């Protein structure tokens, strides 16, 4: 494959819905080749079908971000098709609500394995390729919960704080190679996150659903902001005005 082709290619995890699907649509419209991955293969195929009339090439595949062998398959697929990869978006994730005591150890392990280690696996798999290319960009989707230290979502916040720390380390490692890193920390937005949501308290699901519905910011708007941050090689992206204010106060 020619270098020109891989320079417009992107792989997105959790692209069957939410931010991932919005990013797939955005970059397909820009003529990118898009690898649409999701743990739900049917959702990945649906997103892929929706963008197939765009100028770039696209393909879908099932990707469980907790399985190293799935990451190996994605790596092989993009190399075979495009010869490289310009962007990797680590977007797939889950959420659990509860304080440190209430959250079961099973749920702690579940959210850390997916939300933190899933991102680690993606960065680990593609870091060497990006270095060899001396070009590329990692986008890691964290959350404002990873900056705020909220007690009601302790395990989720710890996982997302880990994504921020990982992204900081990765940024320093990739800088000499001309590879960018962006970590996005959105607040409530209507996505598919509640499909697998866990909580130790009754009524929490309904509250979160309400906050998502009334956030005033869409997944498509977040995708636009992420794309702009990548163009500017911006590291930390806070997508909600109220979180930008809260972050300044905390700092």
Residues designated catalytic: 156
196: its two tokens: 């697998």
Paired with 180 in beta bridges are 137
Cβ pair 237, 182 in contact under 8 A: yes
Q: What one-character DSSP code corresponds to residue 193? A: G
Q: What one-character DSSP code corresponds to residue 52? A: T
Q: How far is CA 150 from CA 28, 38, 158, 159, 168, in A?
A: 36, 28, 10, 12, 21
Q: Residue holding tokens 């697998």?
A: 196
């Amino acid at each position: 494959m020619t270098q020109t082709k891989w320079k417009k290619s992107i792989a997105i995890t959790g692209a069957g819905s939410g931010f991932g699907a919005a990013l797939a649509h955005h970059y397909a419209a820009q003529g990118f080749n898009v690898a649409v991955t999701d743990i739900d293969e049917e959702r990945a195929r649906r997103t892929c079908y929706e963008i197939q009339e765009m100028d770039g090439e696209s393909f879908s595949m099932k990707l469980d971000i907790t399985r190293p062998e799935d990451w190996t398959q994605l790596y092989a697929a993009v190399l075979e098709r495009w010869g490289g990869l310009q962007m990797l978006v680590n977007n797939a994730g889950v959420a659990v609500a509860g304080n440190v005591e209430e959250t079961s150890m099973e749920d702690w392990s579940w959210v850390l394995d997916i939300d933190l280690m899933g991102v680690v696996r993606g960065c680990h798999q593609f870091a060497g390729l990006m270095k060899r290319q001396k070009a590329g960009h990692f986008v890691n989707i964290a959350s404002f919960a990873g900056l705020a230290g909220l007690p009601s979502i302790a395990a989720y916040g710890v996982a997302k704080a880990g994504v921020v720390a990982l992204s900081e380390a990765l940024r320093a490692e990739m800088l000499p190679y001309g590879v960018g890193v962006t970590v996005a920390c959105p607040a409530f937005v209507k996505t598919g996150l509640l499909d697998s949501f866990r909580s130790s308290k009754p009524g929490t699901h309904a509250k979160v659903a309400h906050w998502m519905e009334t956030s005033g910011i869409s997944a498509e708007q977040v995708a636009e902001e992420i794309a702009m941050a990548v163009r500017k090689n911006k590291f930390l992206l806070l997508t909600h005005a109220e979180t930008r204010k809260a972050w300044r106060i905390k700092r």
